[in-house]
Amino acid sequence: MEKKLSNEAVNRSAGVIPVEHQDCIQGRGRSSARETIGRVAAGAVAKKILKQYSGTEIIAYVSQVHNLVLPENLVNHETMTPDQIESNIVRCPNPEYAEKMISVIDAVRAKGDSVGGVVTCIVRNVPQGLGSPVFDKLEGELAKAVMSIPATMGFEFGSGFAGTFMTGSEHNDEFYIDEHGKIRTKPTALGGISNGEIINMRIAFKPTPTVSRKQNTVTRDKRETELIARGRRDPRVVPRGVPVVEAMVALVLVDQLMAQYAQCMLFPINPALQEPLQLSKDKQLQVQF
């Protein structure tokens, strides 16, 4: 009976009823985060390709746990390193806020509950021209990829929902000439296509559904009852999502890079507006598509 009840609590309707397979009961089946091992393995290869081909760096970190938000001005996306993020168990680049997040998690764990949070992911040295202007916009492809990760509940790109509080003149990305004579704008993507600036996105993760507190549920034979989950549980899933987010972003960018390479190598570029998409001679033998 306990197995029937706990299964109902986690996979009610959407996970169990359509398939009616016993395999979906054991280990939560397709809802289990165990499946992310394949994403991370493939993403590791994709990150190496991006690094060697264009120097692209993908770095994700925890920017919010429950109602504790890491202020944006405490993180420098230009200089932040993976070592800063991996220096603590919550994968927050700011040591002070990392300790505060740990305290929040410990307090919730003591009550038998769980919390969600937000993973922020940035991409540096993105090749220009990745994405398509209509159905395959870069932000759309990234959203689809990261929203397929278990426990994800929301996606923001660039200004995200905060942009709704701005006027057009405030939100527009103004262009300028940098000290090297290059045309630049604010970190974002324009019209669904990367412009070479830093990409910034945020992914919301829900609280872990398995908690030790008593909750109402319904059995498959339609009896209302109460459930208290027993066994192993995780009071927060957000830090575990960091490498998975990086992996999915890397896979999308490699896919878009190959598509751009296949298309753009067929036509001459305008050197006044575009930079050639090519490897240095010492890297040409290292990466092959």
DSSP state of 93: S
pLDDT of the residue at 181: 81
In this prediction, residue 28 carries a pLDDT of: 56
Note the pLDDT of residue 7: 44
Q: 214-222: long-range contacts at Cβ-Cβ below 8 A with a sequence spacing of 24 or more?
A: 215/9, 217/5, 217/8, 217/9, 217/12, 218/8, 218/12, 219/4, 219/5, 219/8, 220/4, 220/8, 220/16
pLDDT at 6: 46
Helix axes 238-264, 138-146, angle to 10 degrees: 140
pLDDT in tens, 171-191: 788 888 888 787 777 767 778
Q: What pLDDT, on a 0 to 100 scale, did the predictor assign at position 285?
A: 45
Q: What mean pLDDT is reported for the chain? A: 83
The per-residue pLDDT for range 41-80, each reduced to its tens digit, is: 999 999 999 999 999 999 999 999 999 999 999 999 999 9
Please identify every stretch of the chain with a pLDDT value under 70, giving residue numbers as ranges.
1-31, 187, 231-233, 265-270, 273-289
pLDDT at 215: 82
Q: Domains along the chain? A: 1-31 (no CATH), 37-266 (3.60.150.10)
